[in-house]
Amino acid sequence: MRTSYLCIGPVAIALFCATPAFAQPAPTKTDADCYAQQAALEKDMRAARSRGQMLRRRQIEENLHALQARCEEAAKKETHEARVMRQKNTVMQLRIDLDRAEEDLRNLLAEKKK
C-alpha cells in the first residue's frame, strides 16, 4: 500500500504545479495564435484522457473554452476596429474630395472676376 501512496504523490505534485500554467493562458493577438493555442490544448486534453487524468483533462477543457471565448471576443473587436478604420478612411477621402471641389469653385469664381 505504501508504494501506491508514493506513486500518487509525484502525480499530485505534478498536477498541482501544472495547474497554474493552464489557469491563465496568455492573451492572443491573431487568429493563428488562437488556432495554435487551441490545438495545443486539445492535444494536451487527449493526452490527459489517454493517461486517465480526468481532473487534468477537465481543467484543460475549461481553459480551452475560456480561450475560445477570448478568441471570439478578439475577432469581434478586430472586426469593429476594421470597420472604424474603413469609416475613417472614407471620411478622409471625402474631405480630400471636398477640398478639391472647394478649390475648383474658387478657381471658377476667380475666372469670373477676370
**77-113: per-residue pLDDT in tens?**
778 888 888 899 999 999 999 999 999 999 999 998 8
Per-residue confidence (pLDDT) for residue 27, from 0 to 100: 46
Once rounded to an integer, what is the mean pLDDT over residues 3-12? 49
pLDDT of 55 over the 90 cut: yes
**11-50: per-residue pLDDT in tens?**
444 444 444 444 444 443 577 888 899 999 999 999 999 9
> Are the CB atoms for 82 and 66 separated by under 8 Å?
no
* pTM, to two decimals: 0.48
Per-residue confidence (pLDDT) for residue 12, from 0 to 100: 47
C-alpha cell at 3: 508504494
User: 73 vs 23, 36, 83, 89, CA distance in Å?
Assistant: 19, 17, 15, 24
Per-residue confidence (pLDDT) for residue 37, from 0 to 100: 92
